Amino acid sequence: MDLPQPLTYLFTFKMDTYEIAVFEYSDLYNGDHNVSPDKVICEFIEYYTRYFHPEFVEEGDVRLQRGRMWLSYADNSGGDKPRTIMLMGSITDELVANLKEAVAKVYIKTCWECEKEIKDKQRALCEECRDKE
């Protein structure tokens, strides 16, 4: 008699779309149920910057967790509205690496004039552009 396949085997299929859900506390706050694989990183970063705005939530206050079929970033800043952004679908190592890279870029401050990276997060212009004015 053959034994049934493990339950995990049943869930190894590839999904052709992704879902993004935003939770505030434990309530569903916002989301998108049909995100194509070629736009998933851009869509996720749009939600990330909307709900974890880099001027208000520091990179160190956001925690990444991952499963095979989901990935989430949670706000651990201790603010009054803790949120979690969850991506559901086929989560590959490549997708996780690309999302981590995109999230890191959100926290890079650039000069409003020349688009160069600024080390001082409190300034809007780099030293060169400030000296021009």
Interval 64-116: pLDDT, tens: 999 999 999 999 887 777 899 999 999 999 999 999 999 999 988 888 788 78
Q: Vertex 21, ends 18 and 23: CA angle to 5°?
A: 165
Interval 10-45: pLDDT, tens: 444 455 789 999 999 889 999 998 899 999 999 999
Q: Is residue 89 a contact partner of residue 69, using CB atoms and an 8 Å limit?
A: yes
- pTM, 2 dp: 0.76
**Model confidence band, residue 122 (pLDDT cutoffs 50, 70, 90):** confident
